[in-house]
Amino acid sequence: MKHTNNMNYLKKPYQIRLCRFDLDTPKMKEAMITLGLVKEDLVTNRVLNDFYHPDEAIANIRFKHYRNHMMETVNTLLAERRKVLLRNIA
């Protein structure tokens, strides 16, 4: 699957599974450093089974929290990357 850093902000949590970043580009690295993120913070391919709990409702809550938090993190990273691009252009 192709990796791209030129993507729009995520609007729905299910879009997380579609994210494929190239985290090794200079601009993306700079944005990650500014935000204090490491590659492990951006694991976007987790599924409901990764949040196993005997009570299925708790597993669903954990998974929904993960998707919402990841969506917020990805959008923040994309916004910071755009700022880096603008700083480098100016």
Task: Read off the pLDDT of residues 33-84 as tens digits, 9 standing for 90 and up.
Answer: 999 999 988 887 888 999 999 999 999 999 999 999 999 999 999 999 999 9
- Torsion sign (Cα): 73, 5, 78, 28: positive
> How many Å apart are CA 5 and CA 72, to the nearest integer?
16
CA triplet 47, 66, 39: central angle to 5 degrees? 85
pLDDT at 3 over 70: no
- Whether the model pTM is above 0.85: no
Banded pLDDT at 5 (limits 50, 70, 90)? low
DSSP conformational letter for 5: S
